[in-house]
Amino acid sequence: MLAGMRRALALLGLATAGLLLGSCHNEPDTKTYDQISASAGIGIPFNTSPEQAEAKFGKPTQTLDRGPLHEDYYIVIPAGQEAPTMPDPTVTQFTLSFYDNKLVRVYNCYHPEIPGSSTPPVVAEPIAGVKLGLKRTQIENLLGKPNYGTMKDGWEFVGKDGRAISILPHYTEVKDLNASLASDLTIEYHESGSVNSGKGEYYEKRKQRQQTIHNLTAK
């Protein structure tokens, strides 16, 4: 129950992170941005279409279409159970979010607190070694000091043209290991614009997009 609530709150936080962070001032890191943008951590670039993604990963378990938002869900269904209605942040999953038919977000989720828990059908790895199952310190050793998120627990990498990619993990306590491991990982692409000002046409479009995703994933 607690893990489910944590994931629900995490997913809502991920969906609204762009809305809340219009005043970020991170410096460009074009090398890292270009690296992640080219693969999205899963071997295809951001802005890929749903058809191109399906050609690589196969038919999704479920899809959601509502307005400009399209989501493909690849989920793990435990033996003897029926597939839940997505979106469901408690389900082990690999989810692709498209806005205006362009890939903008990759989401991974699993249950490290459950012994023998399956990993998602596809495990995202935006930077070599950065993936589900790591401790916070391990991720920080690979990515450096966090610079993104309301709690400063994520990372944002800005390209030379103002576009940005954010990486936001969430952690679940595993009592048997006496440690918290990354149980959720989101990699999100943000279009170029006045991300620093928190106002203007780009900011309003970004806020509208994030609010659309927030409204859909909250249901």
Q: How many CB atoms lie within 10 A of CB 192?
A: 13
Average pLDDT over residues 42-58: 97
Q: What is the pLDDT of residues 148-184, one digit of tens each?
A: 888 888 999 999 888 999 999 999 999 999 999 999 9
Nearest-angstrom CA–CA distance, 96 and 74: 9
Mean confidence (pLDDT) of the chain: 82
Quote the pLDDT of residue 80.
87
List strands edge to edge, sheet with 102-109.
62-66, 69-75, 93-99, 102-109, 179-190, 164-174, 155-158
Q: What is the pLDDT of residues 154-164, one digit of tens each?
A: 999 999 888 99
Quote the pLDDT of residue 10.
43
Distances (CA, A) of 180 to 57, 133, 137: 30, 9, 10
pTM listed for this prediction: 0.80
Which residue reads 């899963």 in tokens? 42
Quote the pLDDT of residue 45.
97
Contact by Cβ (8 Å): 2, 208: no
Q: Which residues contact 34 (CB under 8 A, 6 or more apart)?
A: 159
Nearest-angstrom CA–CA distance, 140 and 175: 22
User: What residue spans define the domains of the chain?
Assistant: 2-217
